[in-house]
Structure 1
């Protein structure tokens, strides 16, 4: 089953909008950390809840930003050999890497997190700290959403890479 161009376009727009929200979360994280420092060292007051806001923002951003990072080709890559490859070789390496590594990793992370997140929801888990934030289970749900988004992005990338490989092969036949 091939994703239609409209589905791909919709997912790209969704990721772009999500990335904008995640960028705003990074600002929230920065200001909350600034607030923690100011309150602790300026007024001698420890604001556990504010520190947890920063940690939660980082967790959400890291997990939900995976697919957008991959779409933008900003992931960490060892370019020692890769940079010398032809376009066709790069596409094949990317496609094989997606199939062998990224799809199984996404599926593993998703399946491994299901029980963990479910337990958190059943317990209505909150912070371990008395003055911490409630509803930690909402944040832990990102352990499912992040890998699911990455898996969708990987399928789209595989589809697009296979089309490009076909195009490169057909161009060489001419």
Structure 2
């Protein structure tokens, strides 16, 4: 189990790294957006390339941050229902969701997005907008983001199994939380 937990910690670290990159993409997109608006209003000059660059940066940020959101247990879920169950039942429900919903969707998206990216890369597909950018960089964010999400899903499954085996405290603690909830691994939520 310890080898699996090391793998899980490695995946978590990888997604924290990409989460930090996503923050910088948001910052760059915000600066680009503000600069573009100022130039457009003051000088009456616009650029489709700058608008598309904003879009690419936001797309990359969201795709890269999705796995970290799962890692931090901040994704959308039905807490009002699931919180009524014990932590062990919640872990089993999460495992079901991971194995029968999240991981198959990630594999399906990867199956279709890798050839989609490759076709855009090989063809050098360009935006149809005047002065637009090449498209493959934004296409690449789809398989990269879903690969990170797939890996994080595996990491979360490892943590749920470790919790069920008594090798980890509650997997429902957010990264920013310092201690698990009162009552340890068996505490009610």
TM-score (norm 2): 0.82
Deviation per residue, 1:3-47 (Å, 9 max, x gap): 533332222222112111110110111111112211222221112
Aligned match of 1:94: 94
Uncovered stretches (5+) of structure 1, i.e. residues with no partner? none
- Residue matched to 2:157: 158
Q: Within 5 A, what are the aligned runs for 1:135-154?
A: 136-154=135-153
- Alignment partner, residue 57 of structure 1: 57
Question: Aligned equivalents of 2:115 and 2:53: distance in 1?
Answer: 24
Whether the 8 Å CA contact 2:106–2:147 is kept in 1: the answer is yes
Residue 133 of structure 2 is aligned to residue 133 of structure 1: yes
Partner of 2:19: 19
Higher helix share: 1
Are residues 109 and 3 of structure 1, via their aligned partners in 2, closer, same or farther at CA, if it must alter by over 3 Å? farther
Cα distance in 2 for partners of 1:8, 1:148 equals 15
User: Do residues 30 (structure 1) and 30 (structure 2) align?
Assistant: yes
Aligned to 2:66: 66
Q: Is the 8 A contact 2:8 2:158 kept in 1?
A: no
**TM-score (ref. length: structure 1):** 0.88
* 2: CA distance, partners of 1:80 / 1:141: 36
Distance change (3 Å), C-alpha of 1:58 and 1:15:
same
User: Structure 1's 147 and 95: CA in aligned 2 closer, same or farther, altered over 3 A?
Assistant: same
Looking at structure 1, the residues matched to 165 and 91 of structure 2 have their Cα atoms a distance apart, in angstroms, of 10
CA contact (8 A) 2:5 2:159 kept: no
Moved over 3 A (4+): 1-6
8 Å Cα contact 1:88/1:165 also seen in 2: yes
Within 5 Å, which residues of 2 pair with 1:97-108?
97-108=97-108
Q: Distance in 1 between matches of 2:77 and 2:30?
A: 28
Total equivalences in the alignment: 169
Cα distance in 2 for residues equivalent to 1:25 and 1:139: 13
Native 8 Å contact 1:2 1:159 kept in 2: no
Residues 71, 152 of structure 2: 8 Å contact kept: yes
Structure with more contact order per residue of length (Cα contacts < 8 Å, sep ≥ 6): 2
